[in-house]
Structure 1
Amino acid sequence: MSHHQPDSVPQYMRAWTFSRQGSAEQVLQLSEQHPTPTLRSDTSVLIRVTHVSLHPGTTIMMNFVPFFFRKAPSIAETDFAGVIISAGQAVPVTPSPPNEHRYFPPGTAVFGSISVGSHLKGAGALAEYLVVEMHSIARKPPNISFAQAAALPVSGATALTLMDAAGVQPGDRVLINAPCGGIGHFVTQLVSQAVSKNGYIVGRCSAASFETAKALGCNDVVSYSSAAERDSSSSVGIGEAFDKVIDAHGSQDLWHSSPGILKAGLDHAYTSVGPVLSSYTYRDMLLCVLRMGVNAFLPAWAGGVNRGYRQVTSIVDSDKLERLRQLCGADQLTVLVGGTWAFEDALQAFEVLRGKHARGKLVICVAEPSLLG
């Protein structure tokens, strides 16, 4: 099977690549002559990338996964927006029910995410071009920017998974930890819609984010005044107990204090993205894995926390991408971009991500859509 590459596509492209594990500033290099990928199958698409968003999960992989398990050089990051340049023969190019939104002719604006398997084989988004299977993309809603679309896939899918796991009901009283973060700002909006007018949402964030949290849907806010306090429950002054706690950051101390702030019973779960990794060392990674096991399985009689714990991980698939497309297209989900950097300045964005203070999503502009012709 051979696929003709359009004449307008160069043989080589610019890409941020790495060939050893480590932090972004240690291992990432801007390659000016990386081979441009070509269509791999009849169901794949070649995309000219406009924007890429950063996600902590890919940074963790960059730091921890040895190149024994991945292809060198690898291209950084997985979440993107862009324009389709060419498509395999089996990719639909006209609408056809029941999937009338799943058609992708050349020229279509799309967003999506490269799968972990493909990423480990060297594929990445932080480049001028990429190739993915059509199940990894959705059409970009016309009412959001390319930068916002690039910010949707992993964080948006994780927020949907948190919501599905938490089972938020109309009228619920909900505490959201980190309501303005990359995942949290999606969760806050989704919870606000789910609890409806009779519900009540308290967001726990830095004082600098109070107004943002309220704009996203929090009725009230409580502070952690420093990064260290993000994992401390001392500042949660809550009044009556909550029906649900959704932790979009991963605070161990908040989980340990949950019997004092969360109602008992199966309907009142503590739903979390899992313990946060304090540093990129194997020791901390091992501690993080141990905490996951203890949180989920240690019974109260053995010293565990006497509340239900639900930890989520999320796979980006076409169903979640379509849910995100519909929510944004209907103006039910706003994407908060916390900062945008030029392609050449990507390392600055990784530095901000490492500081864990970002509001919304951090985005790198690979090419301005208006210049793509």
Structure 2
Amino acid sequence: MGETEQTGDIHKIPKIMRAWVHTSAGSARSVLQLRDDIPVPELPSQTSVLVRISHAALQPGEIVMMNFVPFLFRKSPAIAEVDFSGVIVSAGKDVPQKASTNAGSLRYFPPGTPVFGSIPVSAHLKTGSGALAEYVAVEMDCVARKPDSVSFEEAAGLAVSGSTALALIDAASLSHGEKVLLNGPCGGVGHFACQLARQAVQSDGLVVGICSSSKMNLAKKLGCDEALDYHSSPDPGANSLVSSLASRFGGDAEDDKFDIVIDSFGSQELWRACPSFLKPGADHPYVTVGPALQSYSVGSMLAVIGQMLSNSLAPRWAGGVNRAYSQIASFVTVDKLERLRELAEEKRLVAHTGGVWEMEDAQEAYENLSRKHATGKLVVRCLASNV
């Protein structure tokens, strides 16, 4: 691995590894293959680390890239997924090995350090590197130290979904005492957003979640004061969930309506109906991850692009919705990784694992994720076979 490497005696690094790879675009079931002859990556720079992966978390965005990004624009073979947890087994010469003089800084990573992190999408596409493997080489800015109180399977799900939840909450700019409607409080992003929203509005605020009836208890455990079933209306006199929301939270008094709507799923129906239960004005936005794909097809992708443009740009006279719309774009950064580490260490943010699969069973995990009703994070155990 060259002169840039510092390798500890904690682990003998093999030359090849297992990884789930694909060489063409398509569904996980049709294109992914588990191979045991993939070269263990070398350190790309003096500021990079090699991580022996313990667990990888699955992302809906990976399914989108797997289906739609042609190999004209990405390296082949491509290893799936970007989020991981594991242990550093080697590090470049410029990676700090000891704590700095800056009090409280934990940005040092000697071999043996447990970490969590994420591969940048640009590197994922350009180099073919991925987390659904036994090893990954990334820049040190892509990882943070795993808190001792957090398991490897929990830590694997923090980076992308946690960063997205932080972006949602930052865009919502919640204050204590506010009334919040949260769509999808138990999903990969939503279960983090729910915990953060609860803390932001504090005990005198109200958090109402929209989820399936089977997840209501979890929603309340995560911080919802009340959970509504999106399949049906809790109000016998209403025709739908949105009409029930309008009936209960759409009164003429200023305090009847919600201050903020946070949509971690991407419901067009909820967005178009929100004037009946969301206060007007720039201080009361509809904050969302963007419209949800109805299927992994070109037609569905084009429809989503059209909806995004319409939601952001269409004036009211042209059929637009008379409420502030904020669609967030989130990237994993050092600052967000450190925020997530601190929140997890303080137990203010807990990753809920909706299922853990062995490396050989990753296809089953993807089937679960593709149904779009996963609870929390879905995780694959990638522990190296020779450990």
TM-score relative to the length of structure 1: 0.95
Partner of 1:44: 48
Partner of 2:113: 108
Q: How far off is 1:224 after superposition?
A: 1.2
Q: Distance in 1 between matches of 2:209 and 2:94?
A: 46
Q: How far off is 1:368 after superposition?
A: 8.0
Q: Distance in 2 between matches of 1:161 and 1:272?
A: 10
- State the secondary structure of the residue aligned to 2:62: helix
Q: Which amino acid aligns with 1:46?
A: L
- Residue of 146, 154, 160 corresponding to 2:152: 146
- Residue of 227, 233, 236 corresponding to 2:242: 233
Q: Which amino acid aligns with 1:78?
A: V
Partner of 1:164: 170
Identity fraction in percent: 52
Q: Deviations over 1:179-236 (max 9, x none)?
A: 010000000000000001110010000000110000001001111128xxxx973553
- State the secondary structure of the residue aligned to 1:49: strand
- State the secondary structure of the residue aligned to 2:374: coil
Q: Deviations over 1:214-261 (max 9, x none)?
A: 0001001111128xxxx9735536432100000000000000001001
Matching of residue 175 in structure 1 with residue 181 in structure 2:
yes
Q: How far off is 1:302 after superposition?
A: 1.7
Paired residues for 1:281-320 under 5 Å: 281-320=297-336
- Residue of 290, 305, 320 corresponding to 1:274: 290
Partner of 1:184: 190
Matching of residue 10 in structure 1 with residue 14 in structure 2:
yes
Matching of residue 19 in structure 1 with residue 23 in structure 2:
yes
Cα pair 1:271 1:310 within 8 Å, conserved: yes
Cα pair 2:52 2:384 within 8 Å, conserved: no
Partner of 2:261: 245
Matching of residue 56 in structure 1 with residue 60 in structure 2:
yes
Q: Distance in 2 between matches of 1:313 and 1:232?
A: 28
- State the secondary structure of the residue aligned to 1:335: coil
Cα pair 1:13 1:128 within 8 Å, conserved: yes
Cα pair 1:189 1:217 within 8 Å, conserved: yes
Partner of 1:85: 89
Cα 1:232/1:23, change in 2 over 3 Å: farther
Q: Distance in 2 between matches of 1:97 and 1:150?
A: 29
Partner of 1:207: 213
Q: Distance in 2 between matches of 1:233 and 1:58?
A: 31
TM-score relative to the length of structure 2: 0.92
Partner of 1:338: 354
Q: Distance in 1 between matches of 2:244 and 2:79?
A: 41
Q: Deviations over 1:323-344 (max 9, x none)?
A: 0000000111111000000001
- State the secondary structure of the residue aligned to 1:68: helix
Q: Distance in 1 between matches of 2:143 and 2:278?
A: 38
Cα 1:95/1:238, change in 2 over 3 Å: farther
Aligned Cα RMSD in Å? 1.7
Q: Which runs of 5+ in 2 are unaligned?
A: 233-239, 250-255
Partner of 1:70: 74
Q: Distance in 2 between matches of 1:367 and 1:37?
A: 16
Q: Which amino acid aligns with 2:34?
A: L
- State the secondary structure of the residue aligned to 1:45: strand
Q: Which piece of structure 1 moves more, 76-85 or 235-244?
A: 235-244
Cα pair 1:5 1:38 within 8 Å, conserved: no
Q: How far off is 1:4 after superposition?
A: 5.0
Matching of residue 155 in structure 1 with residue 161 in structure 2:
yes
Q: Distance in 2 between matches of 1:89 and 1:64?
A: 38
Q: Which amino acid aligns with 2:274?
A: S
Q: Distance in 2 between matches of 1:323 and 1:192?
A: 17
